[in-house]
Amino acid sequence: LAKVPPSAEWHDRKVTVPRGSRLPEVVSALQEGGILRRPLAFRALVYLTFTSRRLHYGEYTFSRPPSTFEVWQRVFHGDVVTYKVTVPPGANLYDVAALLKEHSLAEPETFLAAATSPAELERLGIPGNSAEGYLFPETYTLVKPVTPEEILEDMRRMLEDRGVVRSLVDSERHLPVCVIDDLVLHRGQLEIDHSRPGLAQGLGQAFRLELKRGAEIERGYGDDQSENKRHRHQPDRGGRNSFPA
């Protein structure tokens, strides 16, 4: 199992184990990639270690001829190739699509299609007609194979994990109020850090409108409560309490 095949004319080889692969598919991918020379020994090793359900999908690179044991060890531990994609502040959908294309992670057309798909936006809880404004600037570590939908989900989750999005969703209109790093709510006033180009510029106006609308609703609710209280303690001439129309 630990015997290493000859390294003559060996160049770095990459092989991708597809997501959801069962043991036969894993063996097939490794064989077709020219990595696994003893498939029966590999299967035996997997069965003896009870790891058939613990093999990891992803892209693997082998800089030298591996032994069967080394192949199993790499796939079992998930020693896959990772890609770091840095989304700078102020990047839009097209910028992100270009970055993903640069790393061969997704085609721009498929990423933009996912970022504007009504079904995908609904799944991610993003209002509007695109994911613009919800792609958090950060360095992401991605593993192939990855879909545009998974990339969008990672970026959307990053907003929540970092605590920079607090959704105050209007249950009737489903309009969120997003607080990004560039936006600071101080004593009821919205302040924008103009020295930092980012998503705040586009969200500032919407945020002000929502604050204004929320204040109007709260003020109207207070007026109604005062009116209810006043009428509740004033019986009409018929001896019944009168309620506001």
Read off the pLDDT of residues 39-63 as tens digits, 9 standing for 90 and up: 999 999 999 999 999 999 999 999 9
- Residue found under tokens 């939908």: 149
Confidence category of residue 215, pLDDT binned at 50, 70, 90: low
- The per-residue pLDDT for 176 is 39
Q: In the chain, what percentage of residues exceed pLDDT 70?
A: 62
Q: For residue 168, what pLDDT is reported?
A: 35
How high does pLDDT run on average in the chain?
75
Token couple for 46: 């997997």
DSSP summary character for residue 187: T
Closest CA to 65 of 25, 40, 34, 32: 34
Query: 167 vs 62, which has greater pLDDT?
Result: 62
pTM over 0.75: no
* pLDDT average, residue stretch 146-156: 94
Contact 58, 76 (CB under 8 A): no
* Token pair recorded at residue 74: 């790499």
Strand (E) or helix (H) holding 58: strand 58-62
End-to-end, the C-alpha distance of the chain in Å comes to 86
